[in-house]
A and B are shown apart, each in its own frame.
Chain A
Amino acid sequence: QVQLQESGPGLVKPSQTLSLTCTVSGGSISSGSYYWSWIRQPAGKGLEWIGRIYTSGSTNYNPSLKSRVTISVDTSKNQFSLKLSSVTAADTAVYYCARGLIIKGHDYWGQGTLVTVSS
């Protein structure tokens, strides 16, 4: 059973960089044709896809966030990471990591981690 777990600071100051890591267990991040996504959800609102990475290192980002987002993968640690720069209060949300497949959408999700942007 694949499991994903987000980790990182729960509080980030405005203008700084939000950094999160997703650790994958129960399977290799390199196996299969999966991609690995970050998705966020502000309190009481819907889901926003941030971007994804393939284990080849290829990435896709949401155009609305592209200038501020970097997603990377560390196959040796079975982890992938999110960096979001120049954050504002609008970036306050629960951040989820998820596994995806081109034909299937996102089949496994982490439990989510709340990141608050505040001074």
Chain B
Amino acid sequence: EIVMTQSPATLSVSPGERATLSCRASQSVSSNLAWYQQKPGQAPRLLIYGASTRATGIPARFSGSGSGTEFTLTISSLQSEDFAVYYCQQYNNWPPDTFGQGTKLEIK
């Protein structure tokens, strides 16, 4: 099973600033990596797939990069609605699909 490790566990950033979230895979997942945003009481929402492709309707301030074992989600200028928990998920080697433990993005 591929283990996905996200860092940091909590990230405190001020509105308008840039946020950089990391995800590491225990072995290569090629570019088969997705990022999700989850707000309290809501289902996760797909942000990025294929490591760098924005899903339909996702603002351009969200960008993804990386391949192999190291991935990054960048939010270029944080809006109030961006404060949430973010998960990465690999879908290269399955079963199982595996998720990271999440990064909580909070207001500084």
Contacts and interface: CB of A to CB of B under 8 A. Distances in A.
Interface of A: 37, 46-49, 51-52, 60-64, 96, 98, 100, 102-107, 109-112
Closest 4 CB pairs of A and B: A105-B34, A109-B43, A62-B96, A49-B97
- Majority-rule SS of B interface residues: loop
B49 A46 contact: no
B50 A103 contact: yes
Contacts of A62: 95-96
A64 B96 contact: yes
A48 B102 CA distance: 12
Contact of B87 (A37, A46, A61, A109): A46
Contacts of B1: 63
22 contacts: A46-B87, A46-B99, A46-B102, A47-B44, A47-B99, A49-B95, A49-B96, A49-B98, A51-B95, A63-B95, A64-B96, A96-B43, A100-B91, A103-B32, A104-B50, A105-B34, A105-B36, A105-B46, A105-B97, A107-B46, A109-B43, A111-B42
Contact of B44 (A52, A63, A102, A109): A109
- Majority-rule SS of A interface residues: strand
Given A49-B99, A62-B95, A110 B49 contact: no
B100 interface: yes
Contacts of A63: 1, 95-96
Contacts of A60: 94-96
Contact of B89 (A51, A64, A105, A112): A105
Contacts of A100: 91
B43 to A, nearest CB: 4
B43 A110 contact: yes
A109 B49 contact: no
Contacts of B36: 47, 105-106
